[in-house]
Structure 1
Amino acid sequence: MLVSYKWLQSYVDLEGITPEELANQLTKSGIEVDGIERPSERLKNFVVGHVLEKEKHPNADKLNRCLVHIGEEEPVQIICGAPNVAAGQKVVVAKPGARLPGNVKIKRSKIRGEVSNGMICSLQELGLETKVVPKDFADGIYVLPEESVPGTDALPLLGLDDAVLDLDLTANRADCMSMIGVAYEVGAIFNRRVKLPEIKEKSSEERAADYIHVKVDNPQDNPLYTAKIIKNVKIGPSPLWLQTRLMASGIRPHNNVVDITNYILHEYGQPLHAFDYDRFGSKEIVVRRAKEGEKLTTLDEVERTLSEEHLVITNGIEPVALAGVMGGLDSEVQSDTKTVLLESAYFNGTVIRKASRDLGLRSESSSRFERGIDPQRVREAAERAADLIAELAGGEVLEGTVEADALTANPVKIEFALGNLNDRLGTELSIGDVEQIMDRLQFSYEIEGERITATVPSRRWDLHIPEDMYEEIARLYGYDNIPKTLPKGVALGGLSPYQRKRRMVRDCLEGAGLMQSVTYSLTSADQYAQFARRKTEPIQLANPMSEAHAVLRLSLVPHLLDAVSYNLARNNKQVFLYEIGSVFYSQGNDRLPEEREHLAGAMTGLYVDHPWQGKKDPVDFYTVKGILDALFDKLSIAQSIRYEKGEGDGLHPGQTANILLDGQVVGFIGKIAPEMEKRYDVKNVFVFELDLSKLLSWETTPLLYRPIPKFPSISRDIALIVDREVPAGDLKRTIQKAGGKLLKEVDVFDVYEGKNVSEGKKSIAFTLEYYDPERTLTDDQVVAVHEDILSAVKEAFGAELRK
């Protein structure tokens, strides 16, 4: 529901209340405001212009050269391409220095050799959506009323100096689907009275009953139907104030009569429909269920096939409107309409919802009937609309209203006790406090001792039981004012250390660019054990939904590969997924399975894609390893993690590693094997899977900080020749052990095989950093430790320094 701040001021005094404060208080009281739109914030320097002359541009067929008076001493020349620009028009002019939506700045410029001192604007160029722009001006500039004064600010004329609040209404607050309903809500929040529109008395010698008769076949579908006749109307454009209010509400203006029905729809929340009386086809309105297969062409020019469950308005012979949803094309108000038949009715919301859903036709009217309207406003809304038609279209309202009335709308009375109210809310409200809130709500009430009987107005059909009133009082009292307490014996909630670490895992992986995936725990019999490092007998369901979901999984990777394949097939070439989920190990037929929480991931595509820098780095083994290293560092277990060469079913034998935590295997990382790539129709996919329950349960030492070094460190590089099968990790650990306390860092920076290295050998180069926090190291001290390291690696691996 879009609510114009300036329009709302017509019904309730908003002095001293900014749109932002209004939005804040509405949200606090239970009606969420999604946003505030201020069109004028991005529009400056727009004035009314008077087109004095118009002639064709000498160098362009589709441009015009216009002389425009904009309130300055001399008129200015503006080049305009709009097809409807003409001399004598009052238009909106963007002067040089103005900015259009999108931060487009208007400058004095030359267009095809002719100077243009600004721009004549369409409504779309001012930021309005095409769907709300009147059709006459949808493809050109907007023409202002003749009385507009050149040089004055154009934005207030178009209502663009307004603030529009976007209300996100829940299904029970249908009363706020109208300006008057919102006014009552605002009045209750700020304790201000509501001013209802004034309806003038009208008199006519002719009676509406002489022109029309109303018959309703089933009063349960349509308890109340009213019809009024307005003669001698003159169809034309609505006044600008009416058009701007409709456009602010997201409604396109059409003509004065149709615009008035839409205006009342938003003012009262009461849907109306205007028929062309002369095109209606008879003097009788019959409301009935449609016949099976009956046809009706609605206002959107679509022929619709109806069923016996749909309610229609007929002229006694054929349908002329789909009740509560949309009118028929044949009887619509047109430019030559002279007599208007005005409908205002109360329809059964269930019947309207059925028709709207069946036909895929949802309208502003149907949405209100579906949620519920105020039965007491049906007649009042019709009188208000007839009054406006008489005022704005010059019509003559005939005496009386023709009705079919079977409506019984007894007021709802809710009785509750003050003690129960305070018990439910945890408050200490007095009778005086409740009285004050009732007065703000404008509910009538009676009080006997500490018992209150509230009479709910018909506009608030959502209130029926004492709990409804408790909530109503609570939100007006202020949820922030209700004391905060905890039930006795209940401790404060919080995350366990395990849960905190799980969130750290999610944050780390998502920060690295992976997206969380959630897949089924059930899989097929031939897929359940793929990539599983620990295999047990399959755990089968007794009555599976399908063969594809018959067995509990032992690994998360297969379903992640399904997701990768699905994305690649739809041209999403960069796929980075992770999942945290359970795997299930059988413990025998008479025992429940063991459930373990695992973390798995699958990545393929370009991890770095910066075409303007010439960088395109595809995912590889070390990309995934780097992400896991960052995760282990985040969990403070990096020092206990080790990688070693591994292999497994479905994994590439040369690009797979086991991941060990303190010597115990907790997972793997690797590229999927070619046969698996073919099976899943993927290429170059790297996966990992970890026993998350082990990782997160690992006890870590508290994080210790060291002071910034006071003494310089010394770096040494060594290249060692070893057998090709010797893992670099084993060498690194031996170096660290032999280096003792002085050796602080050991990093591999090169691995080489080839020229000058013997067959079956390889060269591994390390950077070693030595440091003593108590003193400056000498070369002799470093050389001594360096020699110990060389001796250790020679003894353990036969390593020799590369010459």
Structure 2
Amino acid sequence: MFVSYKWLQEYVDLSGITPDELAEKITRSGIEVEGVEVLNEGLKGVVIGHVLEREQHPNADKLNKCLVDIGEENPVQIICGAPNVDKGQKVAVATVGAVLPGNFKIKKAKLRGEESNGMICSLSELGIEGKLIAKEFSEGIFVFPNDVTVGEDALEKLQRDDQILELGLTANRGDCLSMLGVAYEVGAILNREVKLPNPAVRTISEKATDYVQIKVEAKEDNPLYVAKVIKNVTVAPSPLWMQGRLMAAGIRPHNNVVDITNYILLEYGQPLHAFDYDRLGSKEILVRRAKDGEKIVTLDDAERTLTADHLVITNGSEPVALAGVMGGANSEVKADTTTVLLESAYFAGPTVRKASKDHGLRSEASSRFEKGVDPNRVRAAAERAVELLALYAGGEVLDGEAVVDTLNVEPVVISITLEKINRVLGTDISIEEVAGIFTRLQFETTVDNETITVTVPTRRGDITIEEDLIEEVARLYGYDNIPSTLPMGSSTPGYLTTYQQKRRTVRHYLEGAGLYQAVTYSLTSEAKATQYALETREPIKLAMPMSEDRSQLRLSIIPQLLEVVKYNVARQNDSVAVYETGPVFLSNGTDALPDEREHLAGAITGLREQHQWQGEKKEVDFFVLKGILEGLFAKLGLEQKVEYLQAVVEGMHPGRTAELFLAGQKIGFIGQVHPTVQKELDLKETYVFELSLETVFAEEVAPLQYESIPRFPSITRDIALVVEKEKVAGEIESIIVEAGGKLLKDVHVFDLYEGEHMEPGKKSIAFSLKYFDPEKTLTDEEVTKVHEKVLTAVKEKSGAVLRG
């Protein structure tokens, strides 16, 4: 809701309160003011000018040479390119030295040899959005009415000497979707009187009921419908002040009749609709549910097909408006309209919301009906509108109104004790202060001892229970004035479970290793549901899926991560590293709920290092991802318990994939995505892993123990072993570790050779072994004894031979 500061002053005395101060007070009372816009910020030197003469520029076909009176001693010559500029017009002139939006300064200039002393402006050049400018001025300069005075401030006449407060309203505060609603709110905040409009309508002797009869079939959807008739209307531009206020509120001016209905919508929060009475085609208004397949052409010239869920206004046979949303083109007010039928009604919010949603028509009117309008303003808004139509459109208002009224709305009455208010808020407010707050809100209030009974006006439909009254007291008493207190009674501080701590450790580690967290759908397609599953079961299909791509619960996270990688690579993010911790779902049959298990998965592709200065680039490979996992297991205290065994997994590269085992139990796999899958996804080499977190976290870990840095030197021995090509290094490493005993502290592979100097079917694997004793310096004899034991073990258990 955009609230004009100048307009608001007509209802509430704002003297001594600047717009910024008012915004702060409104925000502190519970309605956020998202910003304060100064409409004429940075603009100066724009006056009203009178075009005395206009002639074709002698040297340019599309330029006009104008002599303009700007209220100074002599008229000035201005060159103007607008197609609609003409002699006798009152226009906005930016004089020499003026400043326009964007800090555009006006200077004397020569255009095609002719002097120009200023600029005749369009509204867009004065900072008004194009979508808010009336159609007749959208492609040219703005022409003022003839009753304006030359030399006056043009921005003031356009209501641009104003500041606009943008209210960020929550769904429950529909009462503030009107200037009167905001006035009540501001009046309560400032404790100042609210001045309401007091329409005085002079009517003629003819009766409105002689012109139209109202029938309502859908009484639940439309319990109140009021129609007033205005004759001898002259359709013309609305007053300049009204156009300015509409544009400041984000509404485009059209003509005086339509603008007055929009003005009342902003002022009262009550949507109105004006029909051309002569185009209705009957003397009857029938409100009913639409028939399935029935059609209407709305004001935006779109043909819309209706259903029985939609409420329509008809002339007895065909629809002339989609109730509460938009009028029909067949009854639109046009330039030749002379008789207007004005509708003011109360439509049920859910019905309007259904029609608005079905047809994609979100209008100012529909948003107010959806949130709920004040039923007691329906007639008042109509009276105010016909007053303005008589004043600014020359209309003659017929006596009375055609109406159907089955609405029965009683104000809500709520009783509450002072003790409860103070107990809930933790305050010590007196009964007089509480009653004063409700009086400021203009709620009828009675006090009996310490019980307060409040009659809530119908404009505040958000207040229905005691807690709503407590909230009103709190926000107007001032949240800043509520004392800070500590909770009473005993409490147990919150903490993370061991599982949650380990999960957080995993996330922190992976993010530290350069992987970004991804969050993907747990729903997937039938084709992807079973891909890369650690445990294969029948996939679970949703009964009512939103689409085929989201029809089944996943058994693995990897397919979704590959989609994330594909999405990024397609947008030239060539180096991607992502992980996700999330659930997979394992079926237990049709009559039982599935098992929901948490998995960890990751995917990397592209470069792991890039040093452009040194011209160095290093691509990710299997061992980069394996190193990340080894670091993770070390963080969890499991580095000595996890084994990597070569494996074949569907969808993975057959020679670059390993299964992971923890204490003999399979916990996941790691490897390169199969080249055919990479090609389908348009990816380069991509490496993935997936682990069962529940299994990993369930493994018991010995308490962390710190060891002092060794004071004694270590001894390193390297061995190169010739083995069969099928033999895996991990098996040999396990034999070495077992045989090395306590003195062997580290062993790792540092070379692999399969060249021409090796026997067919053989390969050489080189290991580096580090021995030391934390208690003393080892002797060669001690190391040799253990090392010989290692060599004997690998020969006997793996058939390895020392390479000569």
Shorter-chain TM-score: what band?
Answer: 0.7 to 0.9
Q: Is the 8 A contact 1:11 1:194 kept in 2?
A: yes
Q: Is the 8 A contact 1:669 1:686 kept in 2?
A: yes
Question: What residue is the counterpart of 2:163 in the other structure?
Answer: 162
Q: Which amino acid aligns with 1:602?
A: A
Q: What secondary structure, in the 3-state scheme, does the structure 2 residue paired with 1:471 have?
A: helix
Question: What residue is the counterpart of 1:331 in the other structure?
Answer: 331
Aligned length: 770
Summarize deviations over 1:269-291 as a string: whole Å, max 9, x none. 11111222333334444444455
Asked if residue 530 in structure 1 is aligned to residue 532 in structure 2, the reply is yes
Question: What residue is the counterpart of 2:274 in the other structure?
Answer: 274
Question: What residue is the counterpart of 1:431 in the other structure?
Answer: 431
Q: Separation in 1 of the partners of 2:549 and 2:83?
A: 63
Q: Which amino acid aligns with 2:165?
A: V
Tell me by how many angstroms 1:138 deviates: 2.0
Are the structure 2 counterparts of residues 3 and 544 from structure 1 closer, same or farther at C-alpha, using a change threshold of 3 Å? closer
Matches of residues 295-334 of structure 1 in structure 2 within 5 Å?
295-307=295-307, 310-334=310-334
Q: Separation in 2 of the partners of 1:471 and 1:625?
A: 57
Q: What secondary structure, in the 3-state scheme, does the structure 1 residue paired with 2:258 have?
A: helix
Q: Is the 8 A contact 1:539 1:551 kept in 2?
A: no
Question: What residue is the counterpart of 1:517 in the other structure?
Answer: 520
Q: Is the 8 A contact 1:46 1:154 kept in 2?
A: no
Tell me by how many angstroms 1:90 deviates: 1.4
Q: What secondary structure, in the 3-state scheme, does the structure 1 residue paired with 2:155 have?
A: coil
Are the structure 2 counterparts of residues 119 and 376 from structure 1 closer, same or farther at C-alpha, using a change threshold of 3 Å? same
Tell me by how many angstroms 1:268 deviates: 0.4
Are the structure 2 counterparts of residues 340 and 521 from structure 1 closer, same or farther at C-alpha, using a change threshold of 3 Å? closer
Q: Is the 8 A contact 2:673 2:688 kept in 1?
A: yes
Q: Separation in 2 of the partners of 1:105 and 1:232?
A: 47
Are the structure 2 counterparts of residues 221 and 798 from structure 1 closer, same or farther at C-alpha, using a change threshold of 3 Å? closer
Q: Is the 8 A contact 2:132 2:253 kept in 1?
A: yes
Summarize deviations over 1:2-51 as a string: whole Å, max 9, x none. 33333333322334545455445444544344x21525487445623636
Q: Which amino acid aligns with 1:670?
A: G
Are the structure 2 counterparts of residues 330 and 644 from structure 1 closer, same or farther at C-alpha, using a change threshold of 3 Å? closer
Matches of residues 118-133 of structure 1 in structure 2 within 5 Å?
121-133=121-133
Q: Separation in 2 of the partners of 1:5 and 1:358?
A: 36
Gaps of 5+ in 1: 705-718, 735-745, 767-787
Are the structure 2 counterparts of residues 617 and 329 from structure 1 closer, same or farther at C-alpha, using a change threshold of 3 Å? farther
Summarize deviations over 1:641-679 as a string: whole Å, max 9, x none. 999895552543665578899999976653212355468
Q: Which amino acid aligns with 1:474?
A: A
TM-score by length of 2: 0.74
Q: Is the 8 A contact 1:79 1:115 kept in 2?
A: no
Summarize deviations over 1:604-659 as a string: whole Å, max 9, x none. 46889999x999997655775787799899x6989999998955525436655788
Matches of residues 728-739 of structure 1 in structure 2 within 5 Å?
none
Question: What residue is the counterpart of 1:244 in the other structure?
Answer: 244
Matches of residues 261-410 of structure 1 in structure 2 within 5 Å?
261-290=261-290, 293-307=293-307, 310-410=310-410
Q: Which amino acid aligns with 1:515?
A: A
Q: Separation in 2 of the partners of 1:23 and 1:227?
A: 38
Question: What residue is the counterpart of 1:186 in the other structure?
Answer: 186
Are the structure 2 counterparts of residues 312 and 637 from structure 1 closer, same or farther at C-alpha, using a change threshold of 3 Å? same
Tell me by how many angstroms 1:202 deviates: 3.5
Gaps of 5+ in 2: 707-717, 737-747, 769-783, 795-799
Summarize deviations over 1:360-407 as a string: whole Å, max 9, x none. 444322332233221211121111111222222233334433433333
Q: What secondary structure, in the 3-state scheme, does the structure 1 residue paired with 2:163 have?
A: coil
Q: Is the 8 A contact 1:521 1:583 kept in 2?
A: no
Q: Is the 8 A contact 2:79 2:111 kept in 1?
A: no
Q: Separation in 2 of the partners of 1:550 and 1:165?
A: 43
Q: Separation in 1 of the partners of 2:191 and 2:259?
A: 32
Are the structure 2 counterparts of residues 262 and 549 from structure 1 closer, same or farther at C-alpha, using a change threshold of 3 Å? closer
Q: Separation in 2 of the partners of 1:76 and 1:656?
A: 83
Question: What residue is the counterpart of 1:12 in the other structure?
Answer: 12
Higher mean C-alpha deviation, range 565-574 or range 288-297: 565-574
Tell me by how many angstroms 1:458 deviates: 1.5
Question: What residue is the counterpart of 1:446 in the other structure?
Answer: 446
Q: What secondary structure, in the 3-state scheme, does the structure 1 residue paired with 2:367 have?
A: helix
Question: What residue is the counterpart of 2:780 in the other structure?
Answer: none
Are the structure 2 counterparts of residues 495 and 160 from structure 1 closer, same or farther at C-alpha, using a change threshold of 3 Å? farther
Tell me by how many angstroms 1:493 deviates: 3.3
Aligned residues: percent identity? 48
TM-score by length of 1: 0.74
Q: Is the 8 A contact 1:49 1:68 kept in 2?
A: no
Tell me by how many angstroms 1:206 deviates: 2.6
Q: Separation in 2 of the partners of 1:499 and 1:155?
A: 63
Q: What secondary structure, in the 3-state scheme, does the structure 1 residue paired with 2:599 have?
A: strand
Q: What secondary structure, in the 3-state scheme, does the structure 2 residue paired with 1:404 have?
A: strand
Question: What residue is the counterpart of 1:215 in the other structure?
Answer: 214
Q: What secondary structure, in the 3-state scheme, does the structure 2 residue paired with 1:373 have?
A: coil
Q: Is the 8 A contact 1:92 1:154 kept in 2?
A: no
Tell me by how many angstroms 1:254 deviates: 0.3
Summarize deviations over 1:516-544 as a string: whole Å, max 9, x none. 324259988x9658364xx68x4887999
Are the structure 2 counterparts of residues 420 and 605 from structure 1 closer, same or farther at C-alpha, using a change threshold of 3 Å? same
Question: What residue is the counterpart of 2:602 in the other structure?
Answer: 601
Tell me by how many angstroms 1:183 deviates: 1.9
Higher mean C-alpha deviation, range 555-564 or range 65-74: 65-74
Tell me by how many angstroms 1:165 deviates: 0.6
Q: Separation in 2 of the partners of 1:105 and 1:566?
A: 50
Q: Separation in 2 of the partners of 1:310 and 1:86?
A: 49
Summarize deviations over 1:557-597 as a string: whole Å, max 9, x none. 44335635884898887665421024689999xx9999764
Q: Is the 8 A contact 1:517 1:577 kept in 2?
A: no
Summarize deviations over 1:114-168 as a string: whole Å, max 9, x none. 8877765544455544332211122233344552655847378352642331423
Q: Separation in 2 of the partners of 1:204 and 1:761?
A: 109
Tell me by how many angstroms 1:549 deviates: 10
Q: Separation in 2 of the partners of 1:205 and 1:517?
A: 69
Q: Is the 8 A contact 1:225 1:346 kept in 2?
A: yes
Q: Separation in 2 of the partners of 1:505 and 1:581?
A: 13
Q: Separation in 2 of the partners of 1:614 and 1:39?
A: 54
Are the structure 2 counterparts of residues 551 and 300 from structure 1 closer, same or farther at C-alpha, using a change threshold of 3 Å? closer
Q: Separation in 2 of the partners of 1:265 and 1:304?
A: 25
Q: Is the 8 A contact 1:90 1:148 kept in 2?
A: no
Q: What secondary structure, in the 3-state scheme, does the structure 1 residue paired with 2:83 have?
A: coil
Q: What secondary structure, in the 3-state scheme, does the structure 2 residue paired with 1:136 have?
A: helix
Q: Is the 8 A contact 2:100 2:126 kept in 1?
A: no
Question: What residue is the counterpart of 1:476 in the other structure?
Answer: 476
Are the structure 2 counterparts of residues 544 and 616 from structure 1 closer, same or farther at C-alpha, using a change threshold of 3 Å? farther
Q: Which amino acid aligns with 1:519?
A: S
- CA-based RMSD of the aligned residues comes to 6.3
Q: Is the 8 A contact 2:515 2:579 kept in 1?
A: no
Q: Separation in 1 of the partners of 2:86 and 2:758?
A: 88
Question: What residue is the counterpart of 1:773 in the other structure?
Answer: none
Higher mean C-alpha deviation, range 616-625 or range 540-549: 540-549
Q: Is the 8 A contact 2:277 2:340 kept in 1?
A: yes
Higher mean C-alpha deviation, range 134-143 or range 157-166: 157-166
Question: What residue is the counterpart of 1:48 in the other structure?
Answer: 47
Higher mean C-alpha deviation, range 568-577 or range 343-352: 568-577
Q: Separation in 1 of the partners of 2:255 and 2:420?
A: 54
